[in-house]
């Protein structure tokens, strides 16, 4: 795996992806931030050596390099999920590549189902902690040791200093930024009423199918990471309605204006 990462990094370096400062992962329906980047280079994943292929129709599958508020960034417009059939090492492959390219901070976004009945869809949640219900871990196997200690400490997976900055920005911009726990499940089917009750019982506020593997990989490599969920649907088991994926995408697109503000303003403080 380390050879594959090195090959991808060499390929990207040769095409102008030079020493980015910040890595960004844009989740389902959350591509508007890419429009704010002064693009210098962009490549579809299929053209990058050893990159998996994005199969989710709502993910464009492009790696973008350029400037955002004066910071050099590399952004994934579309991510990889375990439910697509990728291995965990494939899911976190881009994070390892971005780290080797030189990023000093990783920002992650996702679309998630809101189980906290005090919040509303269309709001944001800053992830303070997570629960993994995925059946595998990106640090399992002998190849993972090439990227750091596999017994990685996860007592504080999300960077406190960056989180404080995001909270301050949200307050000054009058953006509702909830704080809570994200639980990652396999998917791609959504949850039953009983499963929502269970997930809430074990301490989760928001449920999704991503983010945790990338955060684990970032922590292994000593890469500070922060993550924000856009709450795209209301998961009240006592009033559960059939899912409408188009409504989820529309909600994500409507809410991401606040996410764009948070991430853009954060660039000034990193």
Whether the CB-CB separation of 137 and 106 falls below 8 Å is answered with: no
pLDDT (tens digit per residue) in 155-167: 999 999 999 999 9
Opening angle at CA 48, ends 45 and 53, nearest 5? 35
Q: What's the pTM?
A: 0.94
Q: Name the residue ranges covered by the structural domains of the chain.
A: 2-267
Q: What pLDDT does residue 252 have?
A: 83
237: its two tokens: 């088991």
Q: What pLDDT does residue 55 have?
A: 64
Whether the CB-CB separation of 65 and 23 falls below 8 Å is answered with: no
Q: What pLDDT does residue 56 have?
A: 60
Three-state DSSP state, 227:
strand
CATH number of 2-267: 3.40.50.1580
Residues of the chain with pLDDT under 70: 28-29, 55-60
Locus of tokens 């639980």: 183
Locus of tokens 């948070």: 262
The pairing of strands 124-132 and 177-184 is parallel
């Amino acid at each position: 795996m380390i050879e594959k990462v090195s090959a991808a990094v060499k390929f990207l370096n040769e095409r102008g992806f030079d020493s980015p400062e910040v890595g960004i992962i844009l989740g389902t329906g959350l591509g508007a931030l890419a429009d704010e980047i002064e693009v210098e280079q962009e490549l579809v994943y299929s053209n990058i050596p050893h990159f998996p292929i994005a199969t989710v129709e709502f993910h464009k599958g492009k790696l973008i390099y350029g400037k955002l508020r004066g910071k050099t960034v590399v952004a994934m417009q579309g991510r990889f999920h375990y439910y697509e059939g990728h291995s965990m090492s494939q899911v976190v492959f881009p994070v390892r590549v971005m780290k080797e390219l030189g990023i000093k901070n990783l920002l992650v976004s996702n679309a998630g189902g809101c189980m906290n009945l005090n919040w509303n869809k269309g709001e944001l949640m800053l992830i303070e902690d997570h629960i993994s219900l995925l059946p595998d871990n990106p640090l399992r196997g002998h190849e993972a040791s090439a990227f750091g200690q596999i017994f990685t400490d996860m007592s504080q997976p999300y960077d406190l200093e960056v989180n404080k900055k995001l909270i301050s920005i949200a307050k000054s911009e009058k953006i509702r930024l909830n704080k809570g726990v994200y639980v990652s499940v396999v998917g791609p089917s959504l949850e039953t009423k009983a499963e929502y009750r269970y997930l809430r019982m074990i301490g989760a506020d928001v449920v999704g199918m991503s983010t945790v593997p990338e955060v684990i990989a970032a922590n292994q490599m000593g890469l500070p990471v922060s993550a924000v969920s856009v709450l795209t649907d209301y998961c009240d088991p006592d009033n559960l309605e059939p899912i409408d994926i188009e409504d989820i995408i529309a909600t994500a697109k409507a809410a991401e204006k606040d996410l764009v503000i948070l991430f853009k303003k954060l660039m000034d403080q990193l």
